[in-house]
Structure 1
Amino acid sequence: MTHLPTDVRAALRFFAFFLGNGTLDVDLLDGIDYRSDLLTHGSDLEMILAIFANVLEVNDQGETLNAGDAQYRAAQWIRRRCDPEYQVEPPFEDWETELRAPRSLTFGLPTGPTSLAIDSGSVSGDTRCD
């Protein structure tokens, strides 16, 4: 059995810390308190983590190559969810917002990719931030 490489685990840990601490990309999310609303709705948190994981690149040695970029793309989704006027640049691609269930833990869900309606940088659903 192989575990996630140390660098990937560290990137996930720091992402979770910044997200939960309210310090994820402070320039982009300045003045937006996303934690009280977004982090209490499971589907929003699911998408935030999915974007981070989908964008994160890892080399053959298990080192992360773009943790900052992955954090920024997740922060862009949060900003768009909280601020409908914000335009995500570049717009999200389908692979960035793809949701997958692990084969070992499916809860009766399909294991193939599923994408939410995210088109040209838009985020569907109600705005949930103060």
Structure 2
Amino acid sequence: MHPDLRIAIAQFSLWVANGSVGHPILENVDYSEVLQEPSAMERLYFIFTNCLELDEEGAPTNARHAEERAAQWLRQYCERDHVIDPPLSDEEYNGHMY
């Protein structure tokens, strides 16, 4: 695994855990419940990793975009009336699941 990919995943995990993922998308949104919901946490990571693009050496080229897409889904999970724009594609949402 490329060191930059490890860093991107570690940063994403830190931001999820400390409440700052996707800032400002989730500003003032309490998503602490998702930390207790294994399937929601799994989906959050699926979206993040499905959206990540890697260069020929395996380094991420769009970690911020992948974080934003995951944060948009998380906001919709917490606030059912939130509209993701553009909507998540099937590849982003389901692309690499099992």
So what's the TM-score if we normalise by structure 2?
Answer: 0.94
The corresponding residue for 2:31 is: 34
**Structure 1: any 5+ residue segments left out of the alignment?**
102-130
**Structure 2: any 5+ residue segments left out of the alignment?**
none
More helix by share: 2
- Return the index of the structure with the highest Cα Rg: 1
Q: Is the counterpart of residue 88 in structure 1 residue 84 in structure 2?
A: yes
Structure 2: which amino acid aligns with 1:32? V
Q: What are the equivalent positions in structure 2 for 1:1-130 lying under 5 Å apart?
A: 4-35=1-32, 37-98=33-94, 100-101=97-98
Aligned length: 97
Q: Which has the higher contact order (CA 8 A, sep 6+)?
A: 2
Distance 2:92 2:66 in 1: 10
CA RMSD of aligned residues (A): 1.0
So what's the TM-score if we normalise by structure 1?
Answer: 0.71
Q: Which runs of 4+ in 1 moved over 2 A?
A: none
